Amino acid sequence: MENQHETTPADGSPEAHADIYGEDGVIRASFLAHIGAAIADRDTITLKHEVGDLHQSELGDLLEALLPEQRRALVGLLGADFDFSSLTEVDEAIRLDIVDNLPNAQIAQAVQELDSDDAVYILEDLDQEDQDEILAQLPFTERIRLRRSLDYPEESAGRRMQTEFVAVPPFWTVGQTIDYMREDQNLPDRFSQVFVIDPTFKLLGAIDLDQILRAKRGVKIEDIMHETRHAIPATMDQEEAAREFEQYDLLSAAVVDENERLVGVLTIDDVVDVIQQEAEEDLMRMGGVGDEELSDTVLATSRSRVPWLLVNLATAFVSASVISQFGATIEQMVALAALMPIVASLGGNAGTQTMTVTVRALATKDLDIYNAGRVIRREVMVGLLNGILIAAVIGVIAAAWFQNVDLGYVIAAAMIVNMLAAALGGILIPLLLDRLGADPAIASSVFTTMITDVIGFLAFLSLASWWLHLG
């Protein structure tokens, strides 16, 4: 398998570090042992040679693979040669472990060499006191830019934006703009758009670089600029901003404040990170594990998981209370105790299928008030169809297993009822939570499971009780 990890050495030519990663895409044990030995020997020459040219993502992988004391020692030995941008590629716990062991003066020096979005990403997790001390050591202009980004809400476009951008007045010519981009050393290293602003920094429009390259030098910017129809408010949630990029196929977008003034730019590389982060958050919340990361301690992981386990315990007692009402019925036919888990398990799985599709559709805004009725009807019909198919199979198996045809009819009927309940619970519970302003990814799983367990047990045991009574 071809390895996709590449770096760019000083001469600009791409160089693949194929010797770092194995065929499975994981850092080779031999390379890890080599770095570990160099750290133990405090061999800074070897470390700078082996680590100095790594891409930030590769260095991030290395930091995550090392033991805590090794990674701290590596950062200390590399000193000014350590690439702080690699801290944006590691778990929060690892990032904080590294930063907390560094003097604020060193962090302040490193922050000045980072893009503003990477600097904010590192600073936002620090204590307010440390933030203030680090920012106080920065040049005034850079300090104001970073402070403005940090003042925006967490997980907003303002937190993820770059404050470095290229902006020109509308009366400039293409020639003036090109000369400005060539000569000004303070412009960002990479950009795809030039923004057009008035004297108050109010956003007027934008020009793609290909338009500038194709226009004659004497043409005025205002004659070729286009209106920025997809400017993103700085307070917009980062997930909503990512959806704008997805819907309109954007490579970059202007970020504006409440007065429509240009304050930054959001780029596709940041949006890809946001999409991955939000998808991971939804998946983790559906499993009831919060913001847990692989590098978290045992106690932190336990604290993350216990709350929803306790909620699950409470809902389990609700299901148990239903079963307790049919103790006499179960005593008369032990087969019911053997078959109850099947009813609950299949109903729970069916509910989880519907719930997963619903939660994802809500997250991507594909499910709304206009199509909710149609989707609910579809899920009910799917639940009914799957219920009939599963009921036929389990009915035959149960009848043959216990030599009781009536028992097969009972569990088949209960299965149809439970599959319908699973379909309705799997879609209505996330919709209700979303309508109430709660995150459907967090609580849907627990309550959907409770619904399918209660309905499944109630339907199966009620029908069995009725059947025994008739018998």
Same domain, 148 and 185: no
pLDDT in tens, 405-435: 988 999 999 999 999 999 999 999 999 988 8
Q: Specify if 272 maps to a domain.
A: no
Q: Which of 130, 156, 182 is the endpoint of a domain?
A: 156
Q: What is the pLDDT of residue 58?
A: 93
Rounded distance, CA 131 to CA 125, Å?
Answer: 9
With pLDDT > 70 as the criterion, what percentage of the chain qualifies? Answer: 93
Q: What is the pLDDT of residue 343?
A: 87
Same domain, 344 and 440: yes
Q: Specify if 395 maps to a domain.
A: yes
Rounded distance, CA 429 to CA 352, Å?
Answer: 11
Same domain, 328 and 198: no
Same domain, 38 and 79: yes
Name the pLDDT band for 288 (thresholds 50, 70, 90): low
Task: List beta partners, residue 173.
Answer: 220
Rounded distance, CA 352 to CA 332, Å?
Answer: 33
Taking 90 as the threshold, does the pLDDT of residue 326 lie above it? no
Buried b (16+ CB within 10 A) or exposed e, 152-172: beeebbbbbbbbbbbbbeeeb
Contact 159, 119 (CB under 8 A): no
Same domain, 344 and 461: yes
Whichever domain contains 447, its CATH number is 1.10.357.20
Name the pLDDT band for 292 (thresholds 50, 70, 90): low
User: If DSSP states are collapsed to H, E and C, what string results for 62-98?
Assistant: HHHHCCHHHHHHHHHHHHHHCCHHHHHHCCHHHHHHH
Judging by DSSP bridges, how do beta strands 262-267 and 232-233 pair with one another?
Answer: unpaired
Same domain, 183 and 121: no
Contact 348, 449 (CB under 8 A): yes
Rounded distance, CA 324 to CA 332, Å?
Answer: 14
pLDDT in tens, 191-209: 889 999 999 999 999 999 9
Better-scored residue on pLDDT, 470 or 265: 265
How many residues comprise the chain?
Answer: 471
Rounded distance, CA 137 to CA 126, Å?
Answer: 16
Taking 90 as the threshold, does the pLDDT of residue 280 lie above it? no
Question: What is the domain range of residue 98?
Answer: 6-156
**Cα 169 to chain centroid, rounded:** 38
Better-scored residue on pLDDT, 359 or 234: 234
Q: Specify if 126 maps to a domain.
A: yes
Same domain, 206 and 174: yes
pLDDT in tens, 367-394: 878 888 999 999 999 999 999 999 999 9
Same domain, 377 and 462: yes
User: How many domains does the chain fold into?
Assistant: 3
Q: What is the pLDDT of residue 13?
A: 38
Rounded distance, CA 273 to CA 161, Å?
Answer: 12
Contact 226, 207 (CB under 8 A): yes
**Which residues lie below 8 Å from residue 139, measured CB to CB, with a gap of 6+?**
112
Q: List Cβ<8 Å contacts ≥24 apart for 64-69.
A: 64/90, 64/91, 64/94, 64/295, 65/27, 65/32, 66/32, 66/35, 66/36, 66/39, 68/97
Same domain, 174 and 146: no
Q: Name the token pair of 65.
A: 């693979």
Same domain, 117 and 235: no
With pLDDT > 90 as the criterion, what percentage of the chain qualifies? Answer: 54
Q: Specify if 406 maps to a domain.
A: yes
Smallest Cα–Cα separation from 398: which of 351, 344, 343?
Answer: 343
Whichever domain contains 233, its CATH number is 3.10.580.10
Rounded distance, CA 209 to CA 191, Å?
Answer: 9
Name the pLDDT band for 237 (thresholds 50, 70, 90): very high
Q: What is the pLDDT of residue 11?
A: 41
User: Of 27-31, 296-300, 445-449, which has the strongest mean pLDDT?
Assistant: 27-31
Q: Specify if 282 maps to a domain.
A: no
Q: What is the pLDDT of residue 152?
A: 95
**Which residues lie below 8 Å from residue 261, measured CB to CB, with a gap of 6+?**
197, 200, 201, 202, 203
Same domain, 235 and 333: no
Q: Specify if 286 maps to a domain.
A: no
Task: List beta partners, residue 185.
Answer: none
Better-scored residue on pLDDT, 301 or 294: 301
Q: What is the pLDDT of residue 208?
A: 92
Mean pLDDT of the chain: 87
Q: Specify if 279 maps to a domain.
A: no
Same domain, 221 and 251: yes
pLDDT in tens, 64-86: 999 999 999 999 999 989 999 99
Sign of CA dihedral 347, 348, 349, 353: positive
Whichever domain contains 64, its CATH number is 1.25.60
pLDDT in tens, 128-157: 999 999 999 999 989 999 999 999 999 999
Q: Which of 156, 190, 222 is the endpoint of a domain?
A: 156
Q: Specify if 302 maps to a domain.
A: yes
Q: Which of 156, 177, 205 is the endpoint of a domain?
A: 156
Rounded distance, CA 56 to CA 5, Å?
Answer: 10
Q: How many CA atoms within 13 Å lie on the side-chain side of 232?
A: 30
Amino acid at 127: D
